[in-house]
Amino acid sequence: MPADSPLLAVALGNSRLRLGTFIDGKLTQTDSQPLDEPETIGDQLGGDIESAFHPIRERDGASILMTSTNPRATPALEAVLRDRLGFPFKRVEADVPIPVGRQLDREAIVGEDRLLNAAAAFDTLKQACMVIDAGTAITLDFVDGAGTFHGGAIAPGAQLMLDALDGRFPQLPPTELAKPDEPIGHNTTQAMLSGAFYGVRGMARELLEQFAEATGQFPIVVATGGD
């Protein structure tokens, strides 16, 4: 599809659906919705998807491009996009390869979201970078100065860390992610927030140094994601 064709970009994640409308190669509208029951995504979000597609419906060459890291919800979402919208539909990687080099183990299977992040970061920066995507999980990936994706690290997201503590230790309270009042938590909730918040920051700093030492390239950090 031409780069300036009207496009509805659909990104299905583990906990959210994100929509982006592109006109003349520029992002003109975005939307993000939580997923409650993956199998009933059509009933949940069909109207939101149709609304997001409306601005380009009458334009010549309008199409839909979908990426997914959620196999449970993918069939239901594909049915909505194909049947309710009735416009040309393509899948990332299957129909439209992600333009990024890869240096990975032969058997490696990498999420489309990580590859798309890497391709976008290098296309913008044209230099080595570490892409941090902080959401349900946190991925920290290295792209070298030639634009090759090498993989990286995957860890629980900050909210998932907090939820794991609450679920495993009855004496620890349910806690929503927020920046702690100060590094030293003077009560249980603040101590949990400090552990998650500064733990993620410390992990990112350490991996940045490790990536640089391992490759001899000091990457610039690109951060994205719901958190």
Closest CA to 11 of 50, 69, 82: 69
**pLDDT band for position 67 (50/70/90)?**
very high
Kindly report the pTM of this predicted structure. 0.85
**Which residues are CB-contacts of 140 (< 8 A; sequence separation ≥ 6)?**
130, 131, 132, 152, 153, 154, 155, 203, 204, 207
Residue 118, pLDDT > 90, answer: yes
Percent of the chain with pLDDT over 70: 94
In residues, how long is the chain? 227
Phi, psi of 118 (to 5 degrees): -65, -45
CB 115 within 8 A of CB 207: no
Average pLDDT over all residues of the chain:
89
Catalytic residue among 113, 141, 144, 227: 113
**pLDDT band for position 227 (50/70/90)?**
confident
Confirm whether 48 is a catalytic residue.
no
Residue 208, pLDDT > 70, answer: yes
Dist CA 113 CA 46 (whole Å):
22
Whether the CA torsion 217, 97, 65, 151 is positive or negative: it is negative
